[in-house]
C-alpha cells in the first residue's frame, strides 16, 4: 500500500540509531510523578457533558479558534473586492472545511435564495433555457473532488520572500467534494449549435466575474455544483450554485452563476485581458493560462507552525496538487534542494485534487532549508523560483508555482526565505 507508514518498530529502531530520544521521554518522566491529568479523576468525568442539540449546527471547539481564514489588509483597498486565505498550516488530510476555505470576491458575497435563483443558457443554442433551482435538482448529478486555486496564489512572492506563513504564501486554495450537474448535460439540453465554440459564464453579483471557457472544457469535466463537502454551498462560495472547473484557475469558477452564453469566440472580458494574464519580460502578456501547474508546499513545520518539541522524531507534512492530473510523487529536501527524499502520499490520490504528503523524520536539531517538490503524472516537475523567473521575469502576479523554502532554525522557529 502506497500510504502504509513505516512500521512502529522500524521507526523506533531508526530513532535509536539516530541517537535521538523517544517521543515519549518527556511524558514518561511526568508519569513518574503521577501526572494528575491522567492519574486523577477530572471534573468532566464526574459530571454530565453538554446535551445533544446544545449546538444544532456544530462549530469547531473554542480551543481551535485560531484556525480561521485571515486576510492581509494592505493587499487590497477594500475588503469587498479582496481575498482571504485558508489556514492550510493548521489543517490535515485533504478536504478543506467550507468554514475556513478562502474567499475571493470582486464585489462582495451576495445572499441569494433557492426560490428566486435562476440560471439562463442562451446564445448559439437551439433552445434558450432558464432553470430554477428546483429544475436543476432533477438533472443527473455526479460527485468529484477538486482543488480551486486562485491564479494569484503566491503572487506576492514573485519578487522575493515576503509573507510569514503557508496560509499567506499558499492559502488561496481549497479542496472540496462537489456534487453537481455535468455542464455537458445542461448544454445538451439547450442544444449547442455547430458554430458555438466558447461559453461565457457570468455571476449574479455586481462584478459578474465573466469568463470565457472553451467548449471542449465545458463539455469535459465542468460541474454546475450546489453541494460542497456534503452540504449546500456556503454563501461566500456561491450559494446556491457555482461553477466547478477542475484544474483551472479559480477565477473561472464563477459563483452565483446567472448566465452561460454560447458564442463562436471568446468574449475577452476584463477578467481575461487586463487581469488573469501574465506580463512577460518583453512586455507582451501570456493569456489563456488556464491550467494550474503542479505545485506543493510544506504546511508543517512552517512559520505559523514552528517545531516546539526539540530534536527527535517529527512529522513533516504538506500538500501537492496539479491541474493536469494526479500527483505522482513529492520529494522533500531539508538542505535547500541539494538532496531529496521521497515523501509518502497519504490517502487516495485523486486527479486535480489536493494530495497530502507525509515524511516521518528524525530531526537532529540543526538548521534546515525545507522544501517540497511535486511531480505530476505527466512527468512535469515543479520548478525552482529561479527557473520560473528565468522564463517569466518578475512582472507576473499569477501562476507562481515555484518551490517554497522554509528556513527552520535551531530553536524550531521557521522563516520564509529564498535561496540562490
Ligand X SMILES: Nc1nc2c(c(=O)[nH]1)N[C@H]1C(S)=C(S)[C@@H](COP(=O)(O)O)O[C@H]1N2
Residue partners of 115: CB distance under 8 A and separation at least 6:
133
* Interaction partner, residue 239 (Mo ion, ligand X, none; CB < 5-8 Å by kind): none
Q: Give the 3-state secondary structure of residue 37.
A: helix
Q: Is 246 in the site for ligand X (CB under 6 A)?
A: no
| Stretch (H or E) spanning 370 | strand 368-376
- Other CB atoms closer than 10 Å to residue 371's CB: what's the count? 24
Q: Which of 91, 100, 124, 150 binds Mo ion (CB under 5 A)?
A: 150
Q: Which is nearer to Mo ion, 122 or 207 (CB)?
A: 207
Q: Is 289 in the site for Mo ion (CB under 5 A)?
A: no
Q: Which is nearer to Mo ion, 150 or 332 (CB)?
A: 150
Residue among 175, 249, 274, 237 at smallest CA distance from 400: 249
* Interaction partner, residue 141 (ligand X, Mo ion, none; CB < 5-8 Å by kind): none
Residue with cell string 503542479: 294
Q: Which is nearer to Mo ion, 103 or 221 (CB)?
A: 103
Q: Which is nearer to ligand X, 243 or 332 (CB)?
A: 243
Q: Which is nearer to ligand X, 174 or 295 (CB)?
A: 174
Q: Which of 96, 167, 212, 251 binds ligand X (CB under 6 A)?
A: 251
Residue among 275, 282, 283, 302 at smallest CA distance from 399: 275
Q: Is 250 in the site for Mo ion (CB under 5 A)?
A: yes
**Binding residue count for Mo ion, defined by CB under 5 A:** 4
Binding span for ligand X by CB under 6 A among 45-53, 70-78, 254-262, 346-354: 254-262
Residue partners of 362: CB distance under 8 A and separation at least 6:
14, 15, 18, 20, 312, 313, 314
Cα 373 to Cα 405: distance, rounded to the nearest angstrom? 10
DSSP 306-355: ---S-SEEEEEEEEEE-TTS-EEEEEEESBTTSS-EEPEEES---TTS-E
Q: Which is nearer to ligand X, 173 or 345 (CB)?
A: 173
Q: Which of 123, 250, 318, 383 binds ligand X (CB under 6 A)?
A: 250
Cα 190 to Cα 210: distance, rounded to the nearest angstrom? 20
Q: Which is nearer to ligand X, 247 or 336 (CB)?
A: 247
Least separation in angstroms between CB 104 and Mo ion: 5
Q: Taking CB under 6 A as the criterion, which residues in 116-175 touch ligand X? A: 148, 150, 174
Q: Is 323 in the site for ligand X (CB under 6 A)?
A: no
Q: Which of 106, 170, 217, 295 binds ligand X (CB under 6 A)?
A: 106
Least separation in angstroms between CB 253 and ligand X: 5
Length of the chain: 420
Q: Is 278 in the site for ligand X (CB under 6 A)?
A: no
Query: Using an 8 Å Cβ cutoff, are 248 and 292 in contact?
Result: yes
Strand pairing category for 118-123 and 257-263? parallel
What mask, x for binding Mo ion by CB under 5 A, covers residues 209 to 248? ----------------------------------------
Longest dimension (CA), the chain: 80
Q: Is 405 in the site for ligand X (CB under 6 A)?
A: no
Q: What is the DSSP letter of 379?
A: -
Q: Taking CB under 5 A as the criterion, which residues in 87-106 touch Mo ion? A: 104
CA Rg, the chain, in Å?
24
Q: Which of 209, 251, 371, 404 binds Mo ion (CB under 5 A)?
A: 251
Least separation in angstroms between CB 150 and ligand X: 3
Could you give phi then psi for residue 74, rounded to 5 degrees? -75, -10
Q: Is 248 in the site for ligand X (CB under 6 A)?
A: no
Which parts of this chain interact with ligand X (CB under 6 A)?
A: 101-106, 148, 150, 174, 203, 205, 207, 209, 236-237, 250-251, 253-256
Amino acid at each position: 500500500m502506497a500510504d502504509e507508514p513505516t512500521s512502529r518498530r522500524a521507526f523506533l529502531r531508526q530513532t535509536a540509531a539516530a541517537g535521538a530520544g523517544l517521543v515519549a521521554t518527556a511524558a514518561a518522566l511526568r508519569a513518574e510523578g503521577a501526572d494528575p491529568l491522567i492519574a486523577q479523576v477530572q471534573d468532566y468525568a464526574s459530571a454530565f457533558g453538554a446535551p445533544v442539540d446544545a449546538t444544532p449546527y456544530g462549530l469547531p471547539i473554542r480551543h481551535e479558534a485560531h484556525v480561521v481564514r485571515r486576510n492581509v489588509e494592505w493587499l487590497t483597498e477594500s475588503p469587498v473586492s479582496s481575498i482571504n486565505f485558508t489556514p492550510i498550516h493548521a489543517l490535515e488530510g485533504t478536504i478543506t472545511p467550507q468554514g475556513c476555505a478562502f474567499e475571493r470576491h470582486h464585489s462582495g458575497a451576495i445572499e441569494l435564495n433557492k426560490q428566486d435563483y435562476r440560471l439562463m443558457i442562451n446564445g448559439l443554442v437551439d433552445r434558450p433555457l432558464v432553470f430554477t433551482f428546483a429544475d436543476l435538482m432533477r438533472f443527473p448529478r455526479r460527485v468529484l473532488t477538486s482543488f480551486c486555486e486562485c491564479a494569484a496564489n503566491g503572487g506576492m512572492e514573485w519578487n522575493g520572500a515576503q509573507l510569514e506563513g503557508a496560509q499567506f504564501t499558499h492559502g488561496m486554495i481549497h479542496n472540496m467534494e462537489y456534487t453537481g450537474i455535468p455542464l455537458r448535460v445542461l448544454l445538451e439540453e439547450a442544444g449547442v449549435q455547430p458554430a458555438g465554440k466558447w461559453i461565457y459564464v457570468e455571476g449574479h453579483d455586481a462584478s459578474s466575474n465573466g469568463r470565457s471557457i472553451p467548449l471542449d472544457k465545458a463539455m469535459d469535466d465542468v460541474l454546475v455544483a450546489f453541494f460542497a463537502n456534503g452540504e449546500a454551498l456556503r454563501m461566500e462560495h456561491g450559494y446556491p450554485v457555482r461553477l466547478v472547473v477542475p484544474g483551472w484557475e479559480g477565477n473561472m469558477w464563477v459563483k452565483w452563476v446567472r448566465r452561460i452564453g454560447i458564442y463562436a469566440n471568446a468574449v475577452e472580458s476584463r477578467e481575461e485581458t487586463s487581469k488573469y494574464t501574465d506580463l512577460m519580460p518583453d512586455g507582451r502578456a501570456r493569456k489563456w493560462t488556464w491550467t494550474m501547474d503542479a505545485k506543493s508546499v510544506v504546511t508543517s513545520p512552517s512559520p505559523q507552525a514552528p517545531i516546539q518539541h526539540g530534536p527527535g522524531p517529527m512529522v513533516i507534512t504538506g500538500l501537492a496538487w496539479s491541474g493536469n492530473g494526479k500527483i505522482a510523487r513529492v520529494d522533500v529536501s531539508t538542505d535547500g534542494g541539494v538532496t531529496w527524499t521521497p515523501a509518502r502520499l497519504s490517502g487516495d490520490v485523486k486527479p486535480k485534487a489536493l494530495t497530502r504528503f507525509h515524511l516521518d523524520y528524525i530531526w537532529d536539531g540543526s538548521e534546515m532549508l525545507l522544501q517540497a517538490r511535486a511531480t505530476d503524472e505527466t512527468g512535469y516537475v515543479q520548478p525552482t523560483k529561479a527557473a520560473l523567473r528565468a522564463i517569466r521575469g518578475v512582472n507576473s502576479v499569477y501562476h507562481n508555482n515555484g518551490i517554497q523554502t522554509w528556513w527552520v532554525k535551531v530553536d524550531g522557529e521557521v522563516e520564509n526565505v529564498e535561496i540562490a
